[in-house]
Amino acid sequence: MRQPTPSDVRVRVAEGPADREACFAVRKEVFVAEQGVDEAIEYDASDAPDSDTVHVLAEGPDGPLGTGRLLYGPSAAGATGGDPGVGSLGRLAVRQAARGLGVGAALVRGLEEAAARLGLRAVDLHAQTHALGFYERLGYQAYGPEFEDAGIPHRAMRREL
């Protein structure tokens, strides 16, 4: 893959099986191969095509650069305390070659736009602690204690839309 430039990046809602597979391939590369997350826990019921989930895909001229997903409704209840007005942003992954180009921020904004279209008033997420500053720059505020997920320290964060 050639090094993309910021102007190469396009973010859109993933549509259909091929887009979903592209999202899953990016997640496998970043979370499973790079971060050592067990593949058995990387994919869950929220990845099923009929779930209350929106996946977004960032693309460049040579293919997928990143992905993220938004849970809403019953699918988000466990991550948002059951509040139907709050979505849950997660599985944000950017391929190594595309880091530093604004792909992550573009994915977050794409997910927030999807949340607003669904009528949600806020978005929660569980940020790896090394990424707290990234999310804070996008308007998210940490709350609650640090916790481990897949052996990686995290904090809960929220942004009102």
pLDDT tens, N- to C-terminus, the chain (161 residues): 566 666 778 999 999 999 999 999 999 999 999 999 889 889 888 898 888 999 999 999 889 999 999 999 988 888 888 899 999 999 999 999 899 999 999 999 999 999 999 999 999 999 999 999 999 999 999 999 999 988 889 999 999 99
d(CA 76, CA 89): 9
d(CA 39, CA 79): 20
Report the amino acid identity of residue 120: L
